[in-house]
Amino acid sequence: MKSLVGMAIVGLAWAGTAWAQDEKKDDKKSDVAPLLGLPSSADFKSKCKFTDDQCIAVDKIYTDYKDKAADAQNQVKSADDKKTAKKNLNTLKKEILGKLRDLCTSDDQKTSFDDATKGKKGNKT
């Protein structure tokens, strides 16, 4: 009888742990890392009041540009002409910022977006 109770307690503890891990997965907002020092989709959600759909679009943009951004950063590190490589990196960053800003649906979001990305190289909006 004692072993049956013990097994039940262990089973409940195990089930509780599995449930807690599922909850953590649900709380995780995004696995997509922001690029080139730009804010994350969670930052845009809190600072610019982005909707869940807008955050998904931010993550898609970051995913689409991930390889280009990595290449541009590697070029800056290894290029003989660092000035040109940095210019190319800033051009790419400006392109990404433009696509992100296009997600804004109101003037308030645009203002918040500009404040959230202020000081980011390439942001000339």
Hey, where are the domains in the chain?
1-30, 32-125
Exposure string for 40-53, b = 16+ CB within 10 A, e = fewer: bbebbbeebebeee
Residue 21 in tokens: 């891990």
* Residue 122, pLDDT score: 47
CA-based torsion, 83, 87, 90, 92: positive or negative: negative
Q: Does residue 100 surpass a pLDDT of 70?
A: yes
pTM above 0.75, yes or no: no
Q: Read off the pLDDT band of 24 (50, 70, 90).
A: very low
Average model confidence (pLDDT) for the chain? Answer: 81
Q: What is the pLDDT of residues 32-79, one digit of tens each?
A: 888 899 999 999 999 999 999 999 999 999 999 999 999 999 999 998
Q: What is the DSSP letter of 81?
A: -
Specify the residue for token string 């959230």: 116
Q: How far apart are CA 81 and CA 95, in angstroms?
A: 22
The vertex-80 CA angle with 74 and 82, nearest 5°, equals 65
Q: How far apart are CA 50 and CA 87, in angstroms?
A: 30
